[in-house]
Chain A
Amino acid sequence: MQTFTAVDLDTNGANTTDANTGEVVAATNAFLAALDADTKAKVVYDFADNQSRQTWSNFPAAQVPRKGVALSTLSDAAKAAALNVVKTMLSAQGYDQVQTIQAADDWLNKNSSSGTDSFGSDTDYYIAVYGTPSTTDPFMVQFGGHHLARNYTYKGTTASITPDFTGTEPKSFTVANTTVEPLKEKAGTLFAAFDSLSADQDAQAKLTGTINDILMGPSVDNGTFPTTEGVAVSSLSADQKKLVLAAIAAWVNDAAPAEAASLLKTYESQLDQTRIAYANTKTVDGENTYLRIDGPRVWIELVNTRSRSTPNVHYHGVWRDKTDDYGSTNPSS
């Protein structure tokens, strides 16, 4: 069950500089050129179609239908072109993240106990293009599926990279005798930051109330974020600050390198106005373990949640930018 709160999105978001817009335009045009007219009509949306732009979810596509077309419906050439668009928008790390999350969905397809086989790296992942790819005018590429949402909005040489959802179920699994842990980097750096807290810092970081899923999830797009709480990064040691920055970087560095570096520099400059908080527990496989980074712009949540597909807790993670989701300024303002 999912609701969509339609909001007025503008194109005046804070954005990050140094976007590889030209490369993305070329890759997207190559993808669109590989499609027949019917498929292209399903892939391309008006840039002003806000509700479609806001359609992403932590649910599989069988529960929350995605916009655009599934990879499984594309020809081999078109599918390769689609994945090349994603590869171009992201860094090597970011594209690897996409592939490991897709691998988790393939694993679920074979092993889920929930009686559904709708999961899968091809059937459950969709691509849509909003507006006309351009190095001057805004357009957006949306790629995602179960446990993944990449919403990249370009405007000239700047870009918005959020909302960005990553999750995985299960947390760890084996493919051809190799262990795969899709969110290892993001979770590992985040837990390292929280593990470094002293008892006093820990007490400041602990939230009251239990949280068993991300609060700024799909459809929570009206620009209202939870009240800022937690321990101030400004009160942490230099080493601890590095750990917090590394955790933020684990999310940001999924984007193409130049724009990621630019945005990370901005977030780093705001570290002293940033807080970190957790709810319930901060153990890796704890029930309802919930970790949060909350800055003037950056917002990151990671939570252990549950499903009927596997017996263990699994990750939902989201990264948002308070003044730049969908390339728009705070929608509530």
Chain B
Amino acid sequence: MACAAVVLLGSAVPAVAHPLSTSAVLLDVDRTSVTATVELPLDELSIAWDQTLTATSVVDAATSAKLRAYVQADLSASDASGQPWTTVVTGGRVEKVDGVDNLVLDATLTPASGSVGDFVLHDDAVIDRLVSHRVFVSGRYGHTGPYTTLAMLSWQTQSVPVASASAAAPADQGFVPAVRLGVHHIASGSDHLLFLIMLLLPAPLLAAGRRWRPRPDPGWAGLGRSSVRVVHVVTAFAIGHSCTLALGALGWVHLPARLVESGIAFSVLVSAVHAIRPLVRRGEVFIAGGFGLLHGLAFAAILGDLDLSRTSLVTTLLGFNLGIELTQLLVVALVMPSLLLLSRTPVYPVLRVSVAALGAVLAAGWLAQRTGLIPVNPLEPVGDLLIDHPLALAVGLGVLAVTLAGTSRARTTRPAPQLEPGARVRLQTSDVSS
């Protein structure tokens, strides 16, 4: 064979001078079916169909039905044995890709055998009418991470062989990828992060009736007690979500996704309210543990999507959970020192209540969205900020903490706390045992 390899270059560059748009077929390869996101640029689609298709006209009922049927007829897959699969095309929305409006359709390709082995994808949509059109086919396994380009279909070839998920398993499954998946999942889940942050907000404080007040024991002793409280919160959350993650992943506990997701939104709301006014003494520990159970079920749903065999499940479960715990500890490490410093300043009550109130509103938005009261959470961008710029936020918080702590220390003339190693041990012990 003379054909050696296909090398891809400069794929992210928008075509400024020659926007001869390409279609894209993005495959998510599962165990029992393959889902495909099909992106069809309207400029090329218009030429192919010899009619002007706009972002509005392409999604009118008749046109989108016609184009769904067209893609359904042109997009197919077959087993290694040649056995054809069924194709079902749904959806019909318009998204901009490289500055060009694309009609985006969702296709599901299902093998008659019920199990996805290696297969051949065939697609001549648009190419059959517009000969110079090109289609980029890319795929991924496990529904996460970037897509890998598999082929560029053109007038020369409209088929591409695709490996099954099991063939890709060594790279895609196992302990380390599972850890990565865990990190990725919690780091990109603003609700989980916000829950944790809401619980950390009052950790440097003491509940006195229905109010939060600063610890009476300044200096290292108070710091120690606060740290122990953080350990309690983090441990309770870890125990809570680990239990249900295992039970859920093993299939022994199952709750409807909508209920779980709504419950998580509710948990953020409760933790935010608790950060404003203590609901129960040591409430943050109970909230962390109790609602941790719900968060665990959401984590389990991610593993469920991977459709793992029992043998790989334990490895994946451990890795995934480790990823979650590591990320959780990282959040604590990034946020807690600043909170501890800030809690010694007079502005902490205002800051705590403001952040908690923002968290409460965001959580209320999620709750309304997830229970179906509103279509989208208008505050979603605020939540996205948390996952898009975590380091910038943490650094900002740190700078704020150091600045404020510095100025308040300069104003007070309180002497540095006297340290007695023995006292520290005693205080910690008493705190743990109480």
A-to-B contact residues, CB < 8 Å: 1-8, 51, 58-60, 62-65, 108, 112, 114-116, 118-119, 146, 169, 207, 209-215, 220, 222-224, 226, 279, 288, 303, 305-309, 331-333
Task: Let me know if B357 is at the binding interface, CB within 8 A.
Answer: no
Closest to B48 in A: A210
Query: Residues 250-276 of chain B: 1 if any A CB is under 8 Å from the residue's CB, otherwise 0?
Result: 000000000000000000000000000
8 Å CB interface, B130-153 against A: 130-133, 136, 152
A2:B10 contact, CB within 8 angstroms: yes
A209:B130 contact, CB within 8 angstroms: yes
B2:A7 contact, CB within 8 angstroms: yes
Contacts A7-B3, A224-B156 hold; do A64 and B18 have CB atoms under 8 A apart? no
B8:A59 contact, CB within 8 angstroms: no
Contact partners of A108 in chain B: CB under 8 A: 17
Write the nearest CB–CB distance from B98 to chain A, whole angstroms. Answer: 8
Contact partners of A8 in chain B: CB under 8 A: 2, 4
Contacts A213-B132, A226-B155, A279-B131 hold; do A146 and B17 have CB atoms under 8 A apart? yes
CA of A58 to CA of B20 in the docked complex: distance in angstroms?
11
A6:B132 contact, CB within 8 angstroms: no
B20:A305 contact, CB within 8 angstroms: yes
B130:A211 contact, CB within 8 angstroms: yes
Partner of B17, one of A5, A51, A211, A308: A308
Task: Let me know if B373 is at the binding interface, CB within 8 A.
Answer: no
Contacts A209-B130, A214-B132, A288-B47 hold; do A115 and B16 have CB atoms under 8 A apart? yes
Closest to B151 in A: A3
Closest to B154 in A: A220
Known: A65-B10, A214-B132, A215-B132. 4 other contacts (CB 8 A): A3-B6, A6-B6, A211-B131, A226-B155
Write the nearest CB–CB distance from A215 to chain B, whole angstroms. Answer: 6
Contacts A209-B130, A222-B2, A279-B131 hold; do A64 and B10 have CB atoms under 8 A apart? yes
Partner of B2, one of A1, A220, A333: A333
B-to-A contact residues, CB < 8 Å: 2-11, 13, 15-20, 22, 44, 47-48, 50, 128-133, 136, 152, 154-156
Contact partners of A308 in chain B: CB under 8 A: 16-17, 19
Contact partners of A212 in chain B: CB under 8 A: 20, 44, 47, 130, 132-133
Closest to B49 in A: A210
Contact partners of B9 in chain A: CB under 8 A: 2-4, 64-65
CA of A271 to CA of B288 in the docked complex: distance in angstroms?
83
CA of A116 to CA of B132 in the docked complex: distance in angstroms?
26
Contact partners of A60 in chain B: CB under 8 A: 16-17
Contact partners of A303 in chain B: CB under 8 A: 132
Write the nearest CB–CB distance from A212 to chain B, whole angstroms. Answer: 5
Partner of B136, one of A1, A7, A288: A1
Contact partners of B22 in chain A: CB under 8 A: 1
CA of A210 to CA of B46 in the docked complex: distance in angstroms?
11
B155:A59 contact, CB within 8 angstroms: no
Contact partners of B13 in chain A: CB under 8 A: 1, 62-63
CA of A6 to CA of B16 in the docked complex: distance in angstroms?
26
A59:B131 contact, CB within 8 angstroms: no
CA of A60 to CA of B48 in the docked complex: distance in angstroms?
26
Contact partners of B50 in chain A: CB under 8 A: 210
Closest to A60 in B: B17
B18:A307 contact, CB within 8 angstroms: yes
B7:A51 contact, CB within 8 angstroms: yes
User: Top 5 closest A-B pairs, CB basis?
Assistant: A213-B132, A209-B131, A8-B2, A331-B2, A116-B16
A-B contact pairs, 15 of them (CB 8 A): A5-B3, A6-B5, A7-B4, A8-B2, A59-B18, A60-B17, A62-B13, A65-B9, A118-B16, A210-B47, A210-B50, A211-B132, A309-B16, A331-B2, A332-B2
- Candidate in A58, A114, A214 with the most chain B CB atoms within 10 angstroms: A114
Write the nearest CB–CB distance from A223 to chain B, whole angstroms. Answer: 7
Closest to A108 in B: B17
CA of A309 to CA of B18 in the docked complex: distance in angstroms?
8
